[in-house]
């Protein structure tokens, strides 16, 4: 194992530059690719050492399956620059590139800074949009968990009252919170559409009603359920037919609202 003295990448095979005899990855092996110190005008090789350097640069040494030489110990059968020159080359490379792996750390830090700035910008834009008052949506006012349960049971009671008038068995409230989560999605987006991820065999009713001031969730639930059963001609009575369907035994309910609309979601199953 070794490292590329230019980018710090770990190498399985050590490939050496013919000019400076240091190890580099394939991308930076060419002298021009790693700004070879041997090509610098400031780096001069003594005449008495030129022959040794020429011999060392005739072939690129490739060492397979061997560990990096222990510092201060030179392996046999490998030609090296004189110790003083090699140390000078290493110091120059470190001066240019920093510690091993330093280039990679700088790049990672740079990208992390970009990501952090991007996230901060998004938060600022969202905050400005929420506080500007120019958007179409008012602040979301989802009921709390305890209030959610009370309101869902209130819807169930109103539905079962309508079923009881017609001699139908009561529905039971499903523990599945899919309808509640979807009602919150509708209140967040004001995009009025059926749940595209509805489970197979489930019949869904969704209703949207404008919120008036002062707002009472209980009153809205009463008015909405009564309208779904007794005044649903605009929807071809599909909401009424689901509520009064004898085959359905369970229902998942969702109640949410924002400053503009109240949303009721009913998911019926057998």
d(CA 174, CA 204): 14
Give me the percent of the chain exceeding a pLDDT of 90: 39
Render pLDDT for 60-93 as a digit per residue (tens, 0 to 9): 454 444 444 555 555 555 555 566 776 776 676 6
The number of beta carbons lying within 10 Å of the beta carbon of residue 187 is 24
Q: Which pLDDT score, from 0 to 100, does residue 113 have?
A: 86
Can you say whether the dihedral through the CA atoms of 230, 171, 182, 137 is positive or negative?
positive
Query: Would you state the pLDDT for residue 8?
Result: 78
Averaged pLDDT, 37-55? 59
The answer to whether the Cα torsion of 241, 242, 243, 244 is positive or negative is positive
DSSP secondary structure, 125-193, as one string: HHHHHHHHS-SSPPPP-PPPHHHHHHHHHHHHHHHHHHHHHTTPPPPEE-S--HHHHHHHHHHHH----
- What's residue 14's pLDDT? 74
Among 100-104, 209-213, 261-265, which is the least confidently predicted range? 100-104
- Ranked by mean pLDDT, the top range of 96-105, 129-138, 179-188 is 179-188
Residue that wins the pLDDT comparison between 49 and 250 = 250
Name residues whose C-beta falls within 8 Å of residue 195's C-beta, 6 or more positions apart in sequence: 178, 182, 204, 206, 265, 267
Span 122-178, pLDDT tens digits: 766 655 554 444 334 444 556 668 888 999 999 999 999 999 999 999 999 998 899
Q: Give residue 44's pLDDT band: very low, low, confident or very high (50, 70, 90).
A: low
Supply the pLDDT for residue 209.
94
Question: Between the CA of residue 48 and those of 21, 22, 52, 53, 86, what are the distances in Å?
Answer: 18, 21, 8, 10, 16
What is the rounded distance in angstroms from the CA atom of residue 71 to the CA atom of residue 69? 6
pLDDT given at position 97? 57
Under the banding of pLDDT at 50, 70 and 90, the label for residue 183 is very high
Q: Over the stretch 239-257, which tens digit does the pLDDT of each residue have?
A: 999 999 999 999 999 999 9
What is the DSSP pairing of strand 62-63 with strand 14-16? Answer: antiparallel
Range of 39-48, 73-82, 199-208 with top mean pLDDT: 199-208
Quick one: pLDDT at residue 189?
Answer: 92
């Amino acid at each position: 194992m070794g490292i590329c003295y230019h980018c710090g990448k770990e190498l399985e095979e050590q490939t050496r530059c013919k000019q400076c005899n240091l190890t580099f990855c394939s991308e930076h092996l060419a002298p021009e690719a790693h700004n070879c110190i041997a090509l610098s005008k400031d780096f001069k090789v003594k005449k008495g050492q030129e022959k040794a350097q020429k011999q060392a640069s005739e072939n690129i040494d490739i060492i397979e399956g061997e560990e990096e030489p222990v510092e201060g110990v030179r392996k046999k059968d490998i030609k090296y620059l004189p110790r003083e020159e090699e140390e000078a080359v290493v110091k120059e490379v470190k001066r240019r590139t920093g510690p091993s792996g330093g280039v990679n750390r700088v790049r990672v830090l740079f990208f992390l800074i970009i990501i952090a700035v991007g996230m901060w910008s998004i938060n600022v834009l969202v905050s400005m949009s929420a506080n500007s008052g120019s958007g179409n949506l008012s602040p979301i006012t989802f009921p709390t968990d305890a209030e959610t349960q009370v309101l869902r049971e209130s819807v169930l009671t109103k539905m079962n009252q309508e079923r009881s008038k017609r001699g139908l068995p009561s529905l039971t409230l499903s523990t599945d919170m899919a309808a509640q989560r979807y009602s919150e999605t509708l209140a967040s987006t004001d995009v009025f559409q059926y749940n595209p991820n509805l489970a197979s065999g489930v019949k869904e009713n969704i209703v949207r009603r404008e919120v008036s001031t002062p707002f009472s969730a209980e009153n809205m639930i009463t008015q909405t359920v009564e309208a779904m059963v007794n005044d649903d001609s605009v929807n071809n009575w599909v909401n009424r037919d689901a509520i009064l369907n004898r085959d359905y035994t369970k229902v998942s309910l969702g109640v949410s609202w924002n400053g503009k609309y109240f949303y009721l979601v009913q998911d019926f199953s057998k």
